[in-house]
Structure 1
């Protein structure tokens, strides 16, 4: 007869106990009883309803910034739905609803034209900025809603404009909406990948769609009441401005709540300045310091001063032009082969090449990436560009470029070797590329 007491605990994805199974001692005939014990705390109806819209295993299956972002994102979607109804009513008025002289065929042609220019804009926008959406997903997420709100304003202005101008305004509005769709969709995909912790990206996107469906439905229901009670231009514009203000502010707060762990150009700059002070910053610290709209490729001092500009992933022709620009000052119009050879020798152990030119007190840096470079090498190159820019900004800075480059290599490499492990321990992702915002080339040294 077995006297051991067997206990099996069953939990859900979040680790909450759903049931406990207890086996009684086996009798002489080899039969035992198994009892199922329900947990003392049972989920309420409200919690079960939330489970329909939240990822399985929430909150453990998502990052800590997911909840705050989703709250603000829901509020902005709600206000946007109502503003969209006011915009749609204005567009219907523009195309002739209620006007006996309006032609259905003309309205159809206008719709076709809007769709056409919108789709062309989508293709061009995706081609031009496709590689920048992931590194700068926070900026483009907010930019998308700004473009969408401008489209709302143009739609509401269209009824009071002359018909020829009305067509142009509505078409431009369609372009803005198309750009919004590309930027928002791409940025959302990057943010979703950031939020998902358990490889649950597909389910997280599905639950996000469920949330948006409910919020949009509530927005349309409330918007129906709002639109039915607002008819004067003053009331319409007042309501629209309030809704757009709420929409933009909640979007700004949502984006500010996101704590990215990859190093794009701005975050790499902020991290570098902390490391120079002997501190290893956390992603939360950098998220509080970064600004949403930052110019691409700018090099800044620790106090925020603009030092210059850097191009990551430049071509060899840009490097040769940069060297030729300097040698031309000494009377030569060709590339100084000696300078090029010294530069290649200087960076023989690095996975990149770096050159800079100076205009006034502003520095322009170009980084050429070698074929076998990894993300950590590109981060090192960016830190060296910052070191160069800081040296050039100092009063009485030396003009010997190769000597300055040699010293700045040591600064950047020391930063990397000293603090790389510390950055990983703080949660930074040093394996995902976020410094390149364009389709760049690689070089191979033979």
Structure 2
């Protein structure tokens, strides 16, 4: 029987069928190539240039909506950029007979130097925050960038010394934007890529940005040609920035992250306490883009306290000492440390309170042991929520606090054990660490 070979692309679509005919009189055979009946149109082939191979199966469901808004924001940003660039050229002396090219060059070097130094410091200080809080930093990056545009626009009205300061600060903001946007974009791309096609997805995203930026530049060139008055220029700039920020907000809103950062872990915790296992899409609709650092929220959205994950051992020692400072007893301070170590001896972390409660809010921290895993961090965060939201013990009541710590330790462990499989089935990634936002430390305790 003559073989029939069907060829598929990465998405499982038929690209061609090969049929071998029977041998002829001279012993030769022929292979006929049959194209698919539903072959792609020229428009679809053009889209394939800008979409990941295997789309839509190779990316998550939220990819398209995010890219649409991301393209719109890039277009409006290109127009705003041209308007601010014209103001910068005016600031450095274009059209001014007394302006010196050397002075303009030195100003550019100074701006670039300040911006690069800011980039290094910003990346060092917040480097670990970008991935867990990528949605927040993606929007923050554009807020910083747009603030830089506004500073560029107002710079010509100031004297030259002040103008240099304003333009330098604008350069710093754009440098911070570059760090935050680049890091957040990398995390979002990793979220979108389902087939391990991160490199190809980034390449196609670059192609999209190139086309959109080119279109924005063409449109912006018409805008700057037609608009010359200050009123019209500011109107066009504010309109462009408004569209830019709103489309950015909608873009990050469209993303449903599968990792559990501190805010999403809090929302999931409250759902599980009601017996409901939420999906990433449900939680995405509830989460804030900007959230207070380390906040512990009750079910009614009120603040119950704050918690830091990955604190140092010295913080635990200071907390124990402070809680017993009124006794003036070194022995009691040592007993407090021994109590904390004993309670969490079988646990891969230590959860404690480092200062007196204020306004009925707990201030907690987690010291991670050397073998702590992302799931252990999740249990620690849920225990902190249970302790802050369900406890009414005054932090000055040492024995009451210890009893609550013991009770909540079992609650958080049981909660994860009961719902771990169902959470993974709902689409949550419990193996990725997204609860640490600073370079934390680990401790190894030996008897």
Q: TM-score range by the shorter chain?
A: over 0.9
Q: What is the rounded CA distance, in whole Å, between the counterparts of 2:291 and 2:318 in structure 1?
A: 27
Q: What is the rounded CA distance, in whole Å, between the counterparts of 1:444 and 1:331 in structure 2?
A: 29
1:58 aligns with 2:86: no
1:140 aligns with 2:137: yes
TM-score normalised by structure 2 residue count = 0.96
- Residue 400 of structure 1 aligns to a residue whose secondary structure is helix
Aligned to 1:230: 227
Where do 5+ consecutive residues of structure 1 fail to align? none
| 8 A contact 1:86–1:227 mirrored in 2 | yes
| 8 A contact 2:79–2:220 mirrored in 1 | yes
Aligned to 2:369: 370
- Residue 189 of structure 1 aligns to a residue whose secondary structure is helix
Deviation per CA, 1:37-73: give whole Å up to 9, x if none. Answer: 1111121111111111111111111111111000000
Q: What is the rounded CA distance, in whole Å, between the counterparts of 2:201 and 2:109 in structure 1?
A: 35
| 8 A contact 2:77–2:244 mirrored in 1 | yes
Aligned to 1:434: 434
Aligned to 1:392: 391
Q: What is the rounded CA distance, in whole Å, between the counterparts of 1:346 and 1:334 in structure 2?
A: 18
| 8 A contact 1:362–1:393 mirrored in 2 | no
Aligned to 2:316: 319
| 8 A contact 1:55–1:207 mirrored in 2 | yes
For residue 28 of structure 1, report the CA deviation from its aligned partner: 8.5
For residue 105 of structure 1, report the CA deviation from its aligned partner: 1.1
Aligned to 1:297: 294
For residue 26 of structure 1, report the CA deviation from its aligned partner: 5.4
1:97 aligns with 2:122: no
Deviation per CA, 1:355-384: give whole Å up to 9, x if none. Answer: 114423111111000001111000000000
| 8 A contact 1:324–1:334 mirrored in 2 | no
Aligned to 1:112: 109
1:17 aligns with 2:44: no
Q: What is the rounded CA distance, in whole Å, between the counterparts of 2:329 and 2:61 in structure 1?
A: 58
Aligned to 2:357: 359
- Residue 438 of structure 2 aligns to a residue whose secondary structure is coil
For residue 442 of structure 1, report the CA deviation from its aligned partner: 0.1
| 8 A contact 2:78–2:220 mirrored in 1 | yes
Q: What is the rounded CA distance, in whole Å, between the counterparts of 1:433 and 1:412 in structure 2?
A: 17
Q: What is the rounded CA distance, in whole Å, between the counterparts of 2:155 and 2:339 in structure 1?
A: 62
Q: What is the rounded CA distance, in whole Å, between the counterparts of 2:374 and 2:317 in structure 1?
A: 25
Aligned to 1:406: 406
1:257 aligns with 2:254: yes
Q: What is the rounded CA distance, in whole Å, between the counterparts of 2:209 and 2:328 in structure 1?
A: 65
Q: What is the rounded CA distance, in whole Å, between the counterparts of 1:195 and 1:390 in structure 2?
A: 34
Compute the RMSD of aligned alpha carbons.
1.8
Aligned to 2:170: 173
1:213 aligns with 2:213: no
- Residue 391 of structure 2 aligns to a residue whose secondary structure is helix
Q: What is the rounded CA distance, in whole Å, between the counterparts of 2:390 and 2:396 in structure 1?
A: 6
Q: What is the rounded CA distance, in whole Å, between the counterparts of 2:380 and 2:361 in structure 1?
A: 18
Deviates more, 1:359-368 or 1:140-149: 359-368
Aligned to 2:273: 276
Q: What is the rounded CA distance, in whole Å, between the counterparts of 2:262 and 2:119 in structure 1?
A: 26
Aligned to 1:154: 151
- Residue 369 of structure 1 aligns to a residue whose secondary structure is strand
Residue from 187, 192, 202 that aligns with 1:190 = 187
| 8 A contact 1:328–1:334 mirrored in 2 | no
Q: What is the rounded CA distance, in whole Å, between the counterparts of 2:30 and 2:2 in structure 1?
A: 11
Deviates more, 1:343-352 or 1:66-75: 343-352
- Residue 364 of structure 1 aligns to a residue whose secondary structure is strand
Where do 5+ consecutive residues of structure 2 fail to align? none
